[in-house]
Amino acid sequence: MRIGVLASGGGTNLQAIIDACAGGGIQGQVALVVSNNSAAGAFDRARKAGIPTLHASTATHPDPADLDGAILDALTESGVDLIALAGYMKKLGPMTLAAYKNKTVNIHPALLPDFGGRGMYGMAVHRAVIASGVEVTGPTVHLVTDEYDDGPILAQEEVPVLPGDTPESLQQRVLEVEHRVYPATIDAFDRGLIAIHEGSPDTVIRPLCITKDYDAAVSVIRSAFRTPAQRFNITRENCPTHPSFTDRNRLSEIRSKGGVFFGAYRQSRMIGCVAVEPSRDEAGTWYLEKLAVPPDYRLTGLGSLLLDHACRAAGSYGGERISIGLIDADEVLKGWYRRRGFSETGTRTFSHLPFTVCFMNREMT
């Protein structure tokens, strides 16, 4: 992957991306650095790393369309696959945005959608966070659209706001997290762990990140599994571990075993989720967990998107096959998985479950 970085200032996030490329954290390279500021520290970092640079601003191109075209031409000629904004203080022009739709990312120093929008950048964000009295902040990586800080969220990480924090001390702690989160998100985007499915509106599938993501996942899973619980007379008394009764503790248990959760989002709302968890007993096997599509989104292809995403994720983690356990009497669901490449490997009864479990596997190709 070839990355074009646009920066206006010192370029510490640019440096984090350069370092990640050099160290293997990103399988790619920074192909071009563009700045509207001829004296930007980002240029010094780029030149030290041997990366081509371009100064493009109203000083070099007074006409906005010419400026937009010059930036786009430079990115295209450099073979850029992904644009990463790193403290870039200008809006991208419409031609560049259109050419790199869903391939332009930005990092913002607060948990969007809070503390975003026009004028909310740099120290102004941290002042607003402290003045609000919130206890948690942190960076957000998001897709770039023609509105400030309005694109779909790709990654977030929580940073506590400590008693006695100043805007400067909070900025420093958030920036340290930015330097880790931004390269990791670019890598996840490149590996397909973050996927954009274009539509009306687009569907974004990405790893869950912060507390509110997991709260949303609990709600989605309960809603999706309520119907089969009713069909097969499953209650909290006879099967308390059924997904229709799941809670944050159960999700935390899966994560503690190396599991990774993904959510499907449309217009910032989670509409489905899935998890993959490595087997402790069978090398190369990953378990499919909590594939959940609520009733309003069934028969839309969302389940297949989530399943394919989960299989791709397991494969990227080194998985050779993916396995799932289903209610053996649920012929409809078993048929759905068969049509998507799964084969039955056997059945088993468990003393704590009121039904027989059918196991199905799908080999990675």
Mean pLDDT, the chain cut into blocks of 10 residues (365 residues total): 97 98 97 97 97 97 97 98 96 97 97 93 95 97 93 96 96 97 97 92 95 97 96 94 95 96 95 97 95 94 96 95 96 96 96 94 90
What span, in angstroms and rounded, lies between the C-alpha atoms of 16 and 29?
12
> What pLDDT was estimated at residue 353?
92
Do 2-191 and 207-363 show the same overall fold? no
The one catalytic residue in 61, 108, 126, 142 is 108
- Go through 85-114 and write b for each residue having 16 or more CB atoms within 10 A of its CB, e for each that does not: bbbbebbbbeebbebbebbbbbbbbbbbeb
User: Residue 199: what pLDDT?
Assistant: 86
Judge whether 197 counts as a catalytic residue: no
Structural fold of domain 207-363: Aminopeptidase (3.40.630)
Confidence at residue 137, expressed as pLDDT on a 0 to 100 scale: 98
Give pTM, 2 decimals: 0.94
Can you give the pLDDT at residue 267?
87
3-state secondary structure of 287: strand
Question: 161-164 long-range contacts, Cβ below 8 Å, gap at least 24?
Answer: 161/129, 161/130, 161/134, 161/135, 161/136, 161/137
Please state, in angstroms and rounded to a whole number, the distance separating the CA atoms of residues 324 and 322.
7
Give the HSE-up count for residue 279: Cα atoms under 13 Å, Cβ half-sphere. 17
Structure tokens at 74: 């430079």
Domain ranges of the chain: 2-191, 207-363
Task: Give the model's pLDDT for residue 201.
Answer: 85
Tell me what pLDDT residue 93 has. Answer: 96
Confidence (pLDDT) at 233:
95
In whole angstroms, give the CA distance from residue 145 to residue 237.
48
Q: Mapping DSSP to helix (H, G, I), strand (E, B) and coil, where does residue 351 land?
A: coil
Q: What is the CATH number of domain 2-191?
A: 3.40.50.170
Contacts of 312 (CB under 8 A, 6+ apart): 192, 193
Amino acid, single-letter form, for residue 176: E
Between vectors from CA 256 to CA 275 and to CA 324, what angle results, nearest 5°?
35
DSSP character string of 44-111: HHHHHTT--EEE-STTT--SHHHHHHHHHHHHHHTT-SEEEESS--SPPPHHHHHHTTT-EEEEESS-
